[in-house]
Amino acid sequence: MLKKSTPSKSSELDRVYIVAGIDFGTTCSGFAFANKKDSDKTTTPILNDYINWRDQPFAFPKTSTSILYDHEGNIKKWGWSADKYKTSHAGDYYVKNIKLYLDEDLLPTLPNPRTFLPPGKIVVDVIADYLKKLLEVLMDELREKYGNDVGIENVLFCLTVPAMWSDRAKHSMRVAAEKAGMVQSRYSQRLILVLEPEAAAYYIMNYSPRKIGLEPNDRLMVVDAGGGTADLIVHRLKRSGNLEEVCRGSGESCGSTFVDEEMYTWLKNKLGPVWKRMEADNISLAEYFNEPWQKIKLSFRGDMDDVSFDIPAKLSKAYMTNEDRARLNGGDEIIITENDIRNFFHNSVVKIKKLIRDLLDECGGKIEKCILVGGFGSSQYLLNCIKKDFGSCFNQILRTEEPGSAILKGAVLCGLDPFFIQARRCALSYGIEAIAKVSSWKLGIIPGKKKKPGLFIQIAEKGELIEASQYKEKGIFRPAKPNQTILPIKIYSINERKAEFKRVHKDGFSYHGKISVSMPDVGRGIDRPVMVRMYLGQPDIKVVAINVNTGEEYSTTFNPFASLEDMQNSGSSQYNYTSVDTMNKSLISRASHPNLRAPSLQTELTQEKSLYTRASQPNLRHLSQMDSGFGNTSMVASNRNSRSNKVGMIRSGVTSYPGSGAIGSSNPTDYQNQTISKRYSQQSHKSHRSRKEPEITCYKVAHKYEPQKADEMCLHVGDIVTVDQSWDDGWAYGKNLSTKDQGIFPLDYLIKLPPTSNYHYHHHHHHNSTNVNSNTNNNPNTSTANINNSFVQPC
């Protein structure tokens, strides 16, 4: 059921009058901004960019996405300056293309980050360091233009991300923005994520409408080809002038960085032993050949005479022998043929053409316009290849006049008008877990209707078109037991179109945290309805639960790092679901009434706080307890002030509420790690409640990791690990199924295995229940499967 959203004005945005777009790119990054006071709905916004970067080789609205650390991990230079001074001192750490490490699919092919990151730094730390430097330049520019009174609280930050990225990668950018000091909380309303192809589409519609010539109902494909990724999306122009998504976009890491990599691989083979000597001295080929190569790459159209790289005399003298010079035309130059350059482009161009073909097939029919944006989108050769293969599929194929700045300026426009993209397609199917009465044919059980726990109640379907200003709700949820005082709304997604009434603990479902709804009025029994609304039309998904009797609202934002521990401690379903058809009509009317008992907004965190949170210092391994976990002090918004923060104590009980009947007694816990217990805490009470355990998601190790602290775990390429506990700073605690070790390790080194993978692991707890009403413990049958010469238990 779709309904219009009527969000209340947020006090956090009351002081905002500047909108800043930040395009954090693989090769180059920059910002643009606008003052809301300078424009209104009747005028075109005045967009300002920045082109005065220190040590820039030419005027450009972006600087290099690179950063230089000293041997202690302190920032020495960044941007173009880092490129200029990267070889100035031995022992420095030069980091570039770090954005690629957020693409989980690409991770196995990339070098181990441990080889070039300073000790104690992980990928999200480096991104945060870079954003902090970018922020300093932005704030200086804003104060120079608008006065020294401009503060960070006056700025709405619009951070661009590829549409193809996973929720985990997007969330990492929020974490980095918080660490950089843009906002105090990663869920701040002053920080919004903008999809890069959507930003480009908005910019094109505002600044090139006549050139594009779109008419109502015309469709526009945006091919955002940047340094790292190629992102594609198709929109339809509405009569209102807004855009709606026609079909879900797609993308791949195949930008111009990979063209460069092909060239440098070729160059290394050409140089042969010369390159080996340079490598031994830690000399980069880019130091000598990047500038001339970039000129060749930009000017290449597909037909050109042979060109050459001049070999600097300094390089020839230091690293070439007479035999090398004889082999390389006297050591003065390296000849590059037209066919060589075509080969450099080949892989990236083929992948981009496949993305276009697949999207054309999905959308069906001829699309009116196709436009290229992004740094790689400025390549005449790429444009020629697309025209040659797809000329009959579009009425017009062109590129924007400002491919380098279209996205960062478009991000500002998205911040000024967040509803310009009027409707989007759901990337996944979304819903919550509940107990429901369902017909036998839907579950494959004995005929009749029975209540079943742990079922997925689907609220939105994958591929469904949802307007940005709308939310979806479905049915009424009630407590499973009359004396229950807390209703935990657990949120899931799945990459299937139809998943109603499937078991959420089966393969394929992803858990995103929960909302705990306070329901202290047990006198009403189970007649305490809760409505759940999902806002799915924006890049950031929001879920709101409403206590219909009191009008209180509880909200959360999807969190891809929602820990397994949080899911396990939630217990089984604790509420019943009633379909819309069987709801009390008066409840619907009452819940939708705008003056429903003057509801007060009480916002929960994205998920129940994890048992532990990493200290803010990246080099420390201290863990601090966030919630005492006893009685009514846990997870109730109205009682938040009564929580304790006893550092170093392992919580001895899961969240418990007197009379809830769904979670159990006040002391049992399903998580007890002896390694952490011995090092960081006092011994905790080991009382457990028996129940069937959910399956744990498995990850494969993409890069070797050597421990630097006593509590860290060694990772070998190909190992299979589970994540029992994760922190938003990019670290996790879990078990290596291949070596049977346990410990802390960086998430950057892992790839999530697909639901269809044969690598599954069931989390077992061997425990004795004391003072707890035990249910039957349904342990799975055990068998073995060989994974990289190690044995684990599959489900």
Q: How far apart are CA 410 and CA 592, in angstroms?
A: 36
Q: Are strands 367-373 and 394-399 parallel, antiparallel or unpaired?
A: parallel
- Which of 195, 227, 250 corresponds to the end of one domain? 195
> Residue 696: pLDDT band by 50, 70, 90 thresholds?
low
The arithmetic mean of pLDDT across residues 335-345, rounded, is 94
For Cα atoms 75, 162, 538, give the angle at the middle one, nearest 5 degrees: 115
* 29/161 same-domain check: yes
Does position 6 have pLDDT exceeding 70, yes or no? no
> What's the CATH code of the domain at 509?
2.60.34.10
* Residue 22 and residue 131 in contact, taking contact as beta carbons nearer than 8 Å: yes
- Which of 162, 195, 228 corresponds to the end of one domain? 195
The arithmetic mean of pLDDT across residues 294-305, rounded, is 90
Q: What pLDDT is stored for residue 662 in this prediction?
A: 27
* 343/219 same-domain check: yes
Which residues fall within 8 angstroms of residue 523, CB to CB, at 6 or more apart? none
Across 70-84, 259-273, 329-343, least confident range: 329-343
Considering the entire predicted model, what is its pTM? 0.70
Residue 409 forms part of a structural domain = no
Number of other CB atoms surrounding residue 265 within 10 Å: 11
Nearest to 407 by CA among 740, 28, 730: 28
The arithmetic mean of pLDDT across residues 393-409, rounded, is 87
Nearest to 305 by CA among 340, 271, 270: 340
* 129/35 same-domain check: yes
Higher per-residue pLDDT: 650 or 88: 88
Q: What pLDDT is stored for residue 17 in this prediction?
A: 93
Helix 286-299 with 256-271: angle, nearest 10 deg? 130
Nearest to 610 by CA among 500, 706, 783, 726: 726
* Residue 27 and residue 97 in contact, taking contact as beta carbons nearer than 8 Å: yes
Give 259's DSSP letter. Answer: H
Across 252-261, 322-331, 601-610, least confident range: 601-610
Does position 377 have pLDDT exceeding 70, yes or no? yes
Residue 147 forms part of a structural domain = yes
> Residue 455: pLDDT band by 50, 70, 90 thresholds?
confident
> Residue 711: pLDDT band by 50, 70, 90 thresholds?
confident
Residue 528 sits in which domain range?
426-592
DSSP 705-730: B--SSTTB--B-TT-EEEEEEE-TTS
Main-chain phi, psi angles of 712, to 5 degrees: -90, 155
Across 205-219, 251-265, 377-391, 610-624, least confident range: 610-624
* 178/33 same-domain check: yes
Q: How far apart are CA 617 and CA 380, in angstroms?
A: 47
* 482/540 same-domain check: yes
* 237/181 same-domain check: no
Q: What pLDDT is stored for residue 634 in this prediction?
A: 26
> Residue 233: pLDDT band by 50, 70, 90 thresholds?
very high
Q: What pLDDT is stored for residue 3 in this prediction?
A: 54
Higher per-residue pLDDT: 331 or 22: 22
Residue 782 forms part of a structural domain = no
Does position 763 have pLDDT exceeding 90, yes or no? no
Residue 261 forms part of a structural domain = yes
Higher per-residue pLDDT: 773 or 439: 439
* 91/235 same-domain check: no
Residue 206 forms part of a structural domain = no
* 434/376 same-domain check: no
The arithmetic mean of pLDDT across residues 511-536, rounded, is 87
- What are the structure tokens assigned to 121, written together? 């730094």
> Residue 660: pLDDT band by 50, 70, 90 thresholds?
very low
Q: How far apart are CA 147 and CA 140, in angstroms?
A: 10
Q: Positive or negative, the Cα torsion across 552, 493, 761, 168? A: negative
> Residue 155: pLDDT band by 50, 70, 90 thresholds?
very high
- pLDDT above 70: percentage of residues in the chain: 72
> Residue 262: pLDDT band by 50, 70, 90 thresholds?
very high
Give 429's DSSP letter. Answer: E
* Residue 670 and residue 568 in contact, taking contact as beta carbons nearer than 8 Å: yes
* 219/189 same-domain check: no
Q: What is the pLDDT of residues 496-515, one digit of tens each?
A: 989 888 888 876 888 887 88
Main-chain phi, psi angles of 203, to 5 degrees: -60, -45
Q: What pLDDT is stored for residue 757 in this prediction?
A: 56
- Which of 555, 570, 592 corresponds to the end of one domain? 592
Q: What pLDDT is stored for residue 318 in this prediction?
A: 87
Higher per-residue pLDDT: 426 or 89: 426
Residue 786 forms part of a structural domain = no
Does position 446 have pLDDT exceeding 70, yes or no? no
* Residue 498 and residue 463 in contact, taking contact as beta carbons nearer than 8 Å: no
Mean confidence (pLDDT) of the chain = 75
> Residue 682: pLDDT band by 50, 70, 90 thresholds?
very low
Q: What pLDDT is stored for residue 11 in this prediction?
A: 66
- What are the structure tokens assigned to 537, written together? 């039309």
- What are the structure tokens assigned to 332, written together? 């003065």
Number of other CB atoms surrounding residue 81 within 10 Å: 20
Name residue 240's amino acid.
S
Q: Which residues pair with 192 in a beta bridge?
A: 158
Higher per-residue pLDDT: 367 or 785: 367
> Residue 175: pLDDT band by 50, 70, 90 thresholds?
very high
Does position 599 have pLDDT exceeding 90, yes or no? no
> Residue 384: pLDDT band by 50, 70, 90 thresholds?
very high
Q: What is the pLDDT of residues 162-174, one digit of tens each?
A: 988 888 888 899 9
> Residue 450: pLDDT band by 50, 70, 90 thresholds?
low
Nearest to 660 by CA among 455, 488, 450, 451: 488
Which of 443-450's residues contact partners 24+ apart within 8 Å by CB, and which partners?
A: 443/501
Give 710's DSSP letter. Answer: T
Using CA atoms, how far residue 257 sits from 100, 418, 782, in Å, is 10, 31, 46
Q: How far apart are CA 492 and CA 541, in angstroms?
A: 12
Residue 7 forms part of a structural domain = no
Does position 37 have pLDDT exceeding 70, yes or no? yes
Q: What is the pLDDT of residues 541-566, one digit of tens each?
A: 888 888 888 888 888 766 665 544 34
Residue 136 forms part of a structural domain = yes
Does position 785 have pLDDT exceeding 60, yes or no? no
Higher per-residue pLDDT: 706 or 342: 342
Give 366's DSSP letter. Answer: -
Which of 328-333's residues contact partners 24+ apart within 8 Å by CB, and which partners?
A: 328/270, 328/271, 328/274, 333/308, 333/309
> What's the CATH code of the domain at 383?
3.30.420.40
- What are the structure tokens assigned to 48, written together? 């300002």
Q: Are strands 612-614 and 191-195 parallel, antiparallel or unpaired?
A: unpaired
* Residue 501 and residue 489 in contact, taking contact as beta carbons nearer than 8 Å: no
Q: What is the pLDDT of residues 269-284, one digit of tens each?
A: 999 898 888 888 878 8
Which residues fall within 8 angstroms of residue 657, CB to CB, at 6 or more apart? 484, 485, 486, 631, 632, 634, 663
For Cα atoms 500, 245, 606, give the angle at the middle one, nearest 5 degrees: 55
The strand ranges marked E within 522-562 are 530-535, 542-547, 553-557
Give 507's DSSP letter. Answer: T
> Residue 211: pLDDT band by 50, 70, 90 thresholds?
low
* 395/438 same-domain check: no
Number of other CB atoms surrounding residue 323 within 10 Å: 10
Burial class, 786, CB count within 10 angstroms (exposed 0-12 / middle 13-18 / buried 19+)? exposed
Helix (H/G/I), strand (E/B), else coil: 792:
strand
* 341/368 same-domain check: yes
Does position 293 have pLDDT exceeding 80, yes or no? yes
Higher per-residue pLDDT: 132 or 486: 132
Q: What pLDDT is stored for residue 2 in this prediction?
A: 52
Q: How far apart are CA 123 and CA 99, in angstroms?
A: 8
* Residue 206 and residue 198 in contact, taking contact as beta carbons nearer than 8 Å: no
* 82/133 same-domain check: yes
Q: Which residues pair with 487 in a beta bridge?
A: 517
DSSP 743-765: EEEEGGGEEEPPTTSS--EE---
- The number of folded domains in the chain is 3
Burial class, 223, CB count within 10 angstroms (exposed 0-12 / middle 13-18 / buried 19+)? buried
